[in-house]
Amino acid sequence: MRRLNRPPTIVDVARLAGVSKSTVARALSDGPDINEETRKAVLAAARAAGYERNRLAVGMRSGRSGLIGLVIPDIANPFWAEVARGAQDHAVEHGASLLVFSSDWDHGLEARHLRTLRQARVDGAIVNPVADNFDDLHRFGLPFVLIGSSAEHYPESSSVGSDIAQAVRLGLDYLHARGHSRPYLLMGPRWRIARTRFLRTVVEHNIAHDIDPATLITEDGDYTVEGGRAAMQRILARNPAGHIAVFAQNDLMALGAMLAAREAGLSCPGDVSILGFDGVPAGAFSAPALTTIEKPARALGRRSAQSLLDVIAGHTEPGRIYLPCKLIERGSVANLGGVATLPLTVAAE
Amino acid sequence: MRRLNRPPTIVDVARLAGVSKSTVARALSDGPDINEETRKAVLAAARAAGYERNRLAVGMRSGRSGLIGLVIPDIANPFWAEVARGAQDHAVEHGASLLVFSSDWDHGLEARHLRTLRQARVDGAIVNPVADNFDDLHRFGLPFVLIGSSAEHYPESSSVGSDIAQAVRLGLDYLHARGHSRPYLLMGPRWRIARTRFLRTVVEHNIAHDIDPATLITEDGDYTVEGGRAAMQRILARNPAGHIAVFAQNDLMALGAMLAAREAGLSCPGDVSILGFDGVPAGAFSAPALTTIEKPARALGRRSAQSLLDVIAGHTEPGRIYLPCKLIERGSVANLGGVATLPLTVAAE
DNA sequence: ATGAAAGCGCTAACAT
DNA sequence: ATGTTAGCGCTTTCAT
């Protein structure tokens, strides 16, 4: 076993095994046209030489870098970190490596990352686009899969997201069954498509249950704890009578609402019921622990990586995948004893 | 602006600009030997052609792939996600891209990831090694920086970690000042070096304050909420008299201890004081909110990336960097009115 | 200041 | 079944 100052190449291995480079290449990529014994010998020589395939060279010649890109708002955000983990797992299992970038919800940064991905000659990318305007990717001609809700606008591309409609119905049914038929809605920013989808489903659900959608009250937050707290304060300022139920569009706002309720001297779930949406770890430790609807973050990542690999392989069915969410019952929603006969799931759309 | 079915190369740009490929290369890498006007013309042509530099080819020729690897236990863990974000930020700011891998505390997986990094011809790697036995990396001849506490064993390599000794002193002083001079210690697994460092500092601190180290009581957990809960139950089973103070080696165990206390009908901070270590987001939402010592996760990531880039650039001072931790005072530690005259920081080691 | 040419490590025809 | 050869897109001498 010789140590060289530069990493060994197939030529070194070839010399060691007494064959030509193409034979080595064949042995390495287990092609069919090779004698089983020579392959063994070559592999042994490769190991002896401490040979590691140069993926740069492979990528250059074959057009497959073995790299895939992930562009998400923020890898430090626990939800996206879970997504990244799922994507990473699937990628690794299939011999690909994951390049991770955070866009910070900034359009310019996102564009810059996308350019970097092009330069790195990634085989494809998984993207949660900042804005709805997303023509850049198409121009790029880079295989990609959309993750999240913005996919609606791009029917010709594959996408993976959580089934928001199903989740909202799940939450509404749960609330309804416990006597909360007209929850306040703590919504995210107006221009985000997830909000629209959420609200649309609420309206449909109301109509199906003979509730006048005009009576529904929304308060806007910005997906942060502070935003949730402020929104809850506005709700409280309306001096509502009786028990208050709140359905938040994400857990952070729900937690903020819980804080605001406590600060106002109100008990949760005594005076206030709060239902979250996301399933962040912190929800398990709040007092009371947050009842919430969990998005399948890791599965989302896995499936998006899988879809991307499919797209790259040329299996071109631009699939739209919606993964179901799950209700995690903890302690933040009171049971006022409601319409017990209600079926838990309403007909699909 | 022509559209080709294959991405444009420097040759295309050269043709468009009416120069040779070497001139284009020079313009792109702003070398000195080039006329300012030709450079401008070339750059314009590049833009017109929609040219994106092929980093694979660059890496192949120059030996710099522009890729750096990050191998951590779990990207889905909020702490490591923060670290990843810091590393990613620094990398991006310096034109590098980050390849992320989770080892799941598995030695074999870690080795596999390291091999993948070699194959990808990353310029270097940031690693939190699973075990102390870490000779693999040296054999690899890959520039690397260690992140976390295991660096102790590798004096000849650069490392970045949080200053555990400082953090422990900070916590002990804080506890002491509030009347808790002999806290129970909720420790992580025995074979981890972080535990050793933690305990050593406690002993030193005790000696400095005339407390017999033999009186200190440790309970072992496994860094999880469940582990913390079980450990706390064992502490409670000892039927201790009076107020109980617990100093946990990480927040998850601290949160678990809090749960166990509540389940035992004890009030925190009324009957039990709990001090955590890490600064996970969930700590802010527990009831009571967890007082803890925050590790500078993002800075850790940033600095490790910076160190790595230094190592790669050949600035070979195998630096050992310890970043200070910060106490976040929330509501889980009671003030029993202790030794008020104690200085907040003890002499450095 | 610019061009010509060699070559990084590999794969994929094309020979044999 | 194995070897020969021609590039992939780029950087980098070496000429001019």
Confirm if B27 and B10 have CB atoms less than 8 A apart: no
Min Cα separation A285/chain B (Å): 5
Task: Report the predicted TM-score, pTM, of the whole model to 2 decimal places.
Answer: 0.90
Confirm if A121 and B54 have CB atoms less than 8 A apart: yes
Q: Average pLDDT of A237-249?
A: 93
Residue A345 has pLDDT above 60, yes or no: no
CA of B33 to C1' of D13 (A): 14
pLDDT at B191: 79
What sign does the CA torsion over B8, B13, B15, B16 have?
A: positive
pLDDT at A218: 95
pLDDT tens-digit series, residues B14-39 = 999 999 999 999 999 877 788 888 99
pLDDT at B31: 72
pLDDT at B344: 42
pLDDT at A72: 96
pLDDT tens-digit series, residues A70-128 = 999 999 999 999 999 999 999 999 999 999 999 998 999 999 999 999 999 999 999 99
CA distances (Å), origin A121, targets A116, A141, B87, B288: 9, 11, 22, 50
In this structure, of A239-248, B70-79, B97-106, B125-134, the range with the lowest mean pLDDT score is B125-134
Residue B341 has pLDDT above 60, yes or no: no
pLDDT at A312: 93
Min Cα separation A28/chain B (Å): 13
Chain A CB within 8 Å of residue B64 CB: no
Name chain A contacts of B54, Cβ cutoff 8 Å: 60, 119, 121
Min Cα separation A76/chain B (Å): 5
Backbone angles phi, psi at A316, to 5 degrees: -90, 65
Of residues A148 and B179, the one with the higher pLDDT is B179
Q: Which of B81, B89, B285 sits opposite A78 (nearest CB)?
A: B81
Kind of pairing, strands A326-328 and B97-102? Answer: unpaired
3 state SS for chain B: CCCCCCCCCHHHHHHHHCCCHHHHHHHHCCCCCCCHHHHHHHHHHHHHHCCCCCHHHHHHHHCCCCEEEEEECCCCCHHHHHHHHHHHHHHHHCCCEEEEEECCCCHHHHHHHHHHHHHCCCCEEEECCCCCCCHHHHHHCCCEEEECCHHHHCCCCCEEEECHHHHHHHHHHHHHHCCCCCCEEEECCCCCHHHHHHHHHHHHHHHHCCCCHHHCCEEECCCCHHHHHHHHHHHHHCCCCCCEEEEECCHHHHHHHHHHHHHCCCCCCCCEEEEEEECCHHHHCECCCCEEEECCHHHHHHHHHHHHHHHHHCCCCCCEEEECCEEECCCCCCCCCCCCCCCCCCCCC
Q: Which of A57, A84, A281 sits opposite B282 (nearest CB)?
A: A281
Contact A85 B76 (CB under 8 A): yes
Q: Rounded CA gap, A280 and A276, in Å? A: 9
Chain A CB within 8 Å of residue B29 CB: no
Q: Average pLDDT of B260-286?
A: 94
Residue A229 has pLDDT above 80, yes or no: yes
Chain A CB within 8 Å of residue B82 CB: yes
pLDDT at B323: 96
CATH architecture of A164-295+326-348: 3-Layer(aba) Sandwich (3.40)
pLDDT at A337: 79
Q: Average pLDDT of A299-321?
A: 90
CATH architecture of B10-53: Orthogonal Bundle (1.10)
Q: Rounded CA gap, B328 and B186, in Å? A: 19
Chain B CB within 8 Å of residue A99 CB: yes
Residue A347 has pLDDT above 70, yes or no: no
Using pLDDT thresholds of 50, 70 and 90, give the confidence band for residue B136: low
Residue B214 has pLDDT above 90, yes or no: no
Confirm if A301 and A88 have CB atoms less than 8 A apart: yes
The residues of chain B that CATH labels 3.40.50.2300 are 67-163+298-323, 164-295+326-348
Using pLDDT thresholds of 50, 70 and 90, give the confidence band for residue B347: very low
pLDDT at B150: 65
Q: Average pLDDT of B262-269?
A: 94
Q: Rounded CA gap, B17 and B24, in Å? A: 9
The residues of chain B that CATH labels 1.10.260.40 are 10-53
- Residue window 107-136, chain A: list those with CB within 8 Å of chain B: 113, 115-116, 118-121
Min Cα separation B66/chain A (Å): 9
Contact B285 A282 (CB under 8 A): yes
pLDDT tens-digit series, residues B275-307 = 999 999 899 988 899 999 999 999 999 999 999
CB-defined contacts A:B, below 8 A: 132
pLDDT at B346: 38
Residue B339 has pLDDT above 90, yes or no: no
Does the nearest atom of strand C lie within 7 Å of A62's Cβ? yes
Confirm if B246 and B218 have CB atoms less than 8 A apart: no
What sign does the CA torsion over A157, A160, A166, A167 have?
A: negative
Residue A52 has pLDDT above 50, yes or no: yes
Using pLDDT thresholds of 50, 70 and 90, give the confidence band for residue A134: low
Tokens matching residue A100? 């991770």
Peptide bond connecting A240 to the previous residue in cis, omega within 30 degrees of 0:
no
Instruction: Output the CATH code of domain B67-163+298-323.
Output: 3.40.50.2300
Does the nearest atom of strand C lie within 7 Å of B26's Cβ? yes
- Bases along strand C below 7 A from a protein CB: 1-5, 7-13
Residue B342 has pLDDT above 60, yes or no: no
Using pLDDT thresholds of 50, 70 and 90, give the confidence band for residue B340: very low
Percent of chain B residues topping a pLDDT of 90: 73
Residue B4 has pLDDT above 60, yes or no: no
Q: Average pLDDT of B43-69?
A: 95
CA of B110 to C1' of D5 (A): 40
Within 10 Å of residue A28's Cβ, how many Cβ atoms?
17
Pick from B65, B285, B286, B295 the residue to mutate for testing the A interface (most A CBs within 10 Å): B285
Q: Rounded CA gap, A4 and A272, in Å? A: 70
pLDDT at B225: 92
- Contact residues for A15 (Cβ-Cβ < 8 A; gap 6+): none
Residue A204 has pLDDT above 80, yes or no: yes
Pick from B5, B56, B110 the residue to mutate for testing the A interface (most A CBs within 10 Å): B56
Q: Kindly report the CA angle at A169 between A167 and A171, in degrees rounded to 5?
A: 70
Q: Rounded CA gap, A113 and B136, in Å? A: 32
Residue A5 has pLDDT above 80, yes or no: no
Of residues A103 and A31, the one with the higher pLDDT is A103
pLDDT at A343: 41
Using pLDDT thresholds of 50, 70 and 90, give the confidence band for residue B12: very high
Residue B78 has pLDDT above 60, yes or no: yes
Q: Average pLDDT of A244-257?
A: 96
The pLDDT mean for chain B works out to 90
